[in-house]
Amino acid sequence: MATRIGVISDTHGLLRPEALRALRGCALIVHGGDVGTPEVLEGLRAIAPVVAVRGNNDRGAWARALRETETVEIGGARLFVIHDVKALRRPPANVDVVIAGHSHAPSVVRRDGIVFLNPGSAGPRRFTLPVTVARLRVEGGRSRATIVTLPVPSRPPKKA
């Protein structure tokens, strides 16, 4: 049976209702850093368990509880989470998916049998980049990622 994982990053304190809708029904939500506020994590935890890493803009006592990297095993796959993929010299052994944010540019690339997933940014719009999250489907150790562009209003809601 397939496991559905929601992936979000670079919310910068803004948890959009469109992002919450896109992540409903996931068994796990992974946040790739630059969370912005602890309220973002609370909102995500209302949907599913959350694994999050600290981004370069996450500061304060609440952010110190977040690690710089996380490794998660789910659905027969091993996920490695880091905010900025450029800080990763090479993926740890036996990793199936590397999840990273930071650039705000969504992408899914498979290299050397590893899926590199950047869900883009679900927070305030940056430049002309889309507002996105990702869905990761894992079954029998195999994974498939899809970028989901959020239908956001021209004026974003207030930060959480």
Q: Can you list the domains of the chain with their CATH numbers?
A: 3-149 (3.60.21.10)
Q: What is the mean pLDDT of residues 44-55?
A: 98
Tell me phi and psi for residue 39, to 5 degrees.
-65, -30
| Residue 58: pLDDT over 90 | yes
The CA distance from 133 to 145, in Å, is 11
DSSP letter at 19?
A: H
Residue type, 29: I
Which secondary structure element, helix H or strand E, spans residue 45, and what is its range?
Answer: helix 38-45
Which secondary structure element, helix H or strand E, spans residue 71, and what is its range?
Answer: strand 69-74
Look at residue 126 in the predicted model and tell me its pLDDT: 83
Look at residue 128 in the predicted model and tell me its pLDDT: 86
Q: What is the pTM of this model?
A: 0.94
Torsion sign, CA atoms 46, 47, 51, 57 = negative
